[in-house]
Structure 1
């Protein structure tokens, strides 16, 4: 990889990460009134779905590498959070109840995987529709 490409990709990831982190912070502030770690659950679910959409889209579209890594690694990586998920799970187990902590883990893990799969299917379908429209217009 050329140095200029690497620098552009790093810049895209940095900008995307900053945006994703700001979105995550906003969602957490919005959901602070919930006693359940709703913000983190939503962040990781939405982020999984969006990363799935991006992956599905990129299967059939030529997307510039800087844009793909900026949105995927940057925005989605900055928006989602494993460390907060781990801390929230520990907090729920210690201060709420083990069943609440277990529910949170199950919703996070299975919900994230399911949302990523749904996002990938959606992104792939939209990509194929876009390709068909472009071919029909030609």
Structure 2
């Protein structure tokens, strides 16, 4: 049964990642990979909220599998982040590559912490 929760979440997360990435990137005339950045930070926020909800007893293991492992696992993408950063560096856009790494780490961690804090404020 657990695998079905993961598969169901991933069935939503993967197309959502693709569609969000394309929609966000099409609105920016920049080398910076805004689409991947957006889905990764969003995934960090969702995972932070979920982690906080579980810690406060407002969510259980089934929701963790559905949203955490399934949805966020398919929504976020470390491999694309790595590839896009490498591509930026190889094409001479080293500033964008460094900015992608720094902004992704700072914004991702910030979103995760904000998600946990929000969950604690709501369910504590």
Say whether the fold is shared (TM-score over 0.5): yes
The residue that corresponds to 1:136 in the other structure is: none
The residue that corresponds to 1:15 in the other structure is: 8
Tell me if 1:87 matches 2:87. Answer: no
Bigger Rg, which one: 1
Q: How many residues align?
A: 121
Cα displacement string for residues 71-98 of structure 1 (whole angstroms, at most 9, x for unaligned residues):
1111111100000000010111112411
State the 1:32 CA deviation.
Answer: 3.4
TM-score under structure 2 length normalisation: 0.91
Are the equivalent residues in 1 in contact too, given 2:20–2:39 (CA < 8 A)?
yes
State the 1:63 CA deviation.
Answer: 2.8
The residue that corresponds to 1:131 in the other structure is: none
Are the equivalent residues in 2 in contact too, given 1:31–1:39 (CA < 8 A)?
yes
1:99-138 maps to which residues of 2 (within 5 A)? 99-128=95-124
The residue that corresponds to 2:24 in the other structure is: 31
Moved over 3 A (4+): none
Go from structure 1 to structure 2 and tell me whether the alpha carbon gap of 1:31 and 1:96 turns closer, same or farther (over 3 Å shift): farther
State the 1:125 CA deviation.
Answer: 1.4
Question: Which stretch shows the higher mean deviation, 50-59 or 33-42?
Answer: 33-42
> What 5-or-longer segments of structure 1 have no aligned partner?
1-7, 129-138
TM-score under structure 1 length normalisation: 0.82
> What 5-or-longer segments of structure 2 have no aligned partner?
none
State the 1:59 CA deviation.
Answer: 0.8
